[in-house]
Amino acid sequence: MAAPFERRLTETDTVGKLSLPIEWLRILPPIEQGSHEVKIYVSDGLGFYEFRCSTIKMGRYRKPFLQPEDWLKFVDHKGLKVGDKIILDSEPNDFIGSHFRIRAQKFNHEENKWVDV
């Protein structure tokens, strides 16, 4: 299991793709031969989301990212902006491989804390 991925969203994250850490290649489902992407199913406690994950070659390494079409639907649905935060983690599951969870958060200045949206 990879460590949870926590990220404050940048302009690129809110208008394009979401890059994931290279370490996540170990827990993502394998991309089948002849394909360039794999579907992952993610829950946030309120619903389920389907993201297509692809890789891009960065020198000798492959870096995973969530395809913009699916990712930006989530960004729009949650009303996420630059500076908001997401936390993506996984939990091993004997039946489906890994179970993925996502939390979208905004900073509440009145309470001085991050709150899930």
What is the C-alpha to C-alpha distance for residues 70 and 52, in angstroms, rounded to an integer?
Answer: 7
Residue 7's pLDDT band, with cuts at 50, 70 and 90, is very high
**How do residues 90-111 score in pLDDT, each as one tens digit?**
876 655 556 899 999 999 999 9
* Residue 86 near residue 105 (C-beta atoms within 8 A): yes
Of 98, 106, 113, the closest CA to residue 43 belongs to: 98
Domains of the chain with CATH codes: 5-116 (2.40.330.10)
pTM of the complete model: 0.87
**pLDDT above 90 coverage of the chain, percent:** 65
